[in-house]
Amino acid sequence: MMQHFDMVETSHDLERSKTILLSGIFEPHNLEHPLRESAFVELMICLRDLMAKVEKYSTRISFTDDVILSKMTRDITDTITNIRDSICHINSFKRVVDDRENRVAFCSISGKGRAFDFGDVVLQSDYDDETCFFYGCHRIYLKRHIIRALNEAEEKLQRIT
C-alpha cells in the first residue's frame, strides 16, 4: 500500500506533468518561449519523482527504445535520472559530452536533425514528428520517452492505489 504522502506527491506530479504538456509550450512554434526551459525543468523533476515511486511500489519503467545506452544509462528511468541530475547540479559531469569537457544544457530541437557535433559525438533527433531535448549526451524525446514514461507510470500507479 502506498504511503499517504507518496500518494499526494504522485498525484501532484501527474497533474503538473499533464498541465505542462497540455500547455503547448513544447510545440515547435514555442521554441523561443522564455519559460520553455523552466517548464522542462519542472517536468523532469516531477517525472523523476514518479519513476522513483513507481519503482518503489511497482516495477521499474525500463524501456530502451531510442534510449542512448551507456555505462550509466540502462533504460529510460536512468535517462530521466541523468537529465534531472544535470538540471539540478550545474557542474555535473552528466552535462559533459566529450573528452574535451564540452557541456550541453537544455538544448532542444523539433523534427529530425542535428543539434551539435562534438567530434565523434553527434547529438541528433531521428524523427520528423518529435521534439528532442539534450543535457550532456542524454537525449530524451517528448512523445517516445516523456509521454510514454508518464503514461506507464500512471498506469502502474493506478493499479496500486
Distance CA 79, CA 145 (A): 9
Distance CA 43, CA 84 (A): 9
Q: Please provide the DSSP assignment of 57-96 as one string.
A: HS------TT---BTTBSSHHHHHHHHHHHHH-TT-GGGB
Return the C-alpha torsion angle 89, 93, 150, 10, nearest 10.
-40
**Per-residue pLDDT tens over the stretch 27-83:** 999 999 999 999 999 999 999 999 999 999 999 999 999 999 999 999 999 999 999
Where residue 92 falls among pLDDT bands split at 50, 70, 90? confident
Q: Which of 2-11, 26-35, 100-109 has the weakest average pLDDT?
A: 100-109
